[in-house]
Amino acid sequence: MKNSAKIWSRILIASLLAAAVAAVVPGPGWLCAQDLHSFENDVPFGFRMSFFKGGGDSTLCLITITVDNKNLLFFRGSGYYEAQYEAFLNMRETETRSILKGLWDKTVRVPSYDETSLAKLFDPLTVTTRAWPGKYEGFVEVKDIQANTFGNGRVSVQVPDFNSDLPKLSTPLFYAVPEGQQPGQQPDLSPGGAIPTEGSLKVPSGKPIWLMVEVYADSSALPEGWKLTAEVVKALMLFPRIDVELEDGLLRQRALIKVSTGTMGLGTYELDVQLRDENNTSLARATSFKFRVVRSADWVTKNYKNEIKYLRYLIPEEEMERLQGIPEEEQATALEKFWAKIDPVPATAINELRVQYFERIDYANRHFTTEEHEGWETNMGEVYILLGPPTEIYGSRLNQIWVYEYEGLVLHFFGQNLRNRNEFDEYIRLRRWW
């Protein structure tokens, strides 16, 4: 059993090597304001701009850049491991030619080697700058200082004007609860005060999301009975609306919206925040944007059956039924034993195969989800989860050919459907260890 387990684990490990050769997604496109956009190149990174009312006629821009640990080169120090990257932004307003520019650096330090290969979810680079309202175009670049590698992409954003056409809402900010602050403790929400550091838009399953929103009104329409509403939407799913009452008579105020993720599965969700009056009429709306619920450290202990569901590509149906039939209090132990059998590097503290498997499920949900199925349930998702990114991709969006050079496979897709399914199944059958 142990030797055959190694054979199966090598299928996924070998596909990791192919990931270094090519990426699945095409080159970066244009960025709309308030999106978290991932640029996939030598140094993959996420980029987001959030907007608040600044001094005078200006707008305060909060720039958030995220780079996962696994994409950086770490050097060993005395009792720590350290990486450093540099971010450069250069944008120009299309009419006035005003420049929005900046150069910033970030040091990431972790105490152990294992943490250098993990995704750092809550330590983004965040900076604030001011800009005049208007449409800006340009590019952003990230450089890994120690590896001397780069990631970049073109961006186009619309910086809003918070001094006209009121009422308006700021960008909903993913509020990162400060270290040491109790979960129920009310933070300082002084209107016009410093903008807090933004948390990641990758949210560990089961952890609540805190959104900070600023509301801007004018004296001709004083707030009375106003409220903020937040709705979370996913394909084929709709969650209950969340209402937060606002104070009457204040022209500028901040509010926190708490969004629970307890009933959300893994995957990508869309968030819609609106300002409504006492008659429930929409007065203003923030640009909707997406966030991802990812697997957290305690996810297994609270979601046994969910994790078992995701294992269907690794184990046969009868084994899934056996795991699901195990008493709930014993399922966590059974899962740990399962993953231990196929741990490619038992000497390390983490199971690299387990981490990679769920990262691929997350990627499949982001890129291959349809109106009928989550991405991981599609043919494309299944292939990507088991084999990783192909060496090359040909064709169009509806007709694609995926080439896996190391495996000697050429797979044909029409939409999400795998045409030469038998060839793929035979390849997997010959290497499956069950």
Domains identified in the chain and CATH numbers: 2-17+342-431 (no CATH), 31-160 (2.60.40), 165-294 (2.60.40.2550)
Q: Look at residue 10 in the predicted model and tell me its pLDDT.
A: 46
Confidence at residue 322, expressed as pLDDT on a 0 to 100 scale: 85
Structure tokens that stand for 298 in this block: 């305690």
Euclidean distance between CA atoms 275 and 271, whole angstroms: 14
Collapsing DSSP to helix, strand or coil, 377 comes out as helix
Pairing of strands 209-216, 237-238: unpaired
Single-letter residue type at 21: V
Residues of the chain with pLDDT under 70: 1-40, 118-122, 178-189, 191-192, 200, 205, 235-236, 295-306, 349, 432-434
> What pLDDT sits at residue 159?
93
pLDDT of residue 222: 87
What's the rounded Cα separation, in Å, for the pair 247 and 267?
35
Per-residue model confidence (pLDDT) at position 20:
27
Determine the straight-line distance between the first and last CA of the chain, rounded to whole angstroms.
Answer: 8
pLDDT of residue 277: 94
Question: Which pLDDT belongs to residue 36?
Answer: 45
pLDDT for 105: 93
CB 135 within 8 A of CB 104: no
User: Are the CB atoms for 262 and 206 separated by under 8 Å?
Assistant: yes
- Residue 300, both tokens: 């297994």
Inter-axis angle of helices 2-19 and 421-431, nearest 10: 130
pLDDT at 349: 66
Residue 294 to residue 122: CA distance in whole angstroms: 13
pLDDT at residue number 303: 57
Cα separations in angstroms, 413 against 312, 379, 397, 420: 21, 8, 10, 8
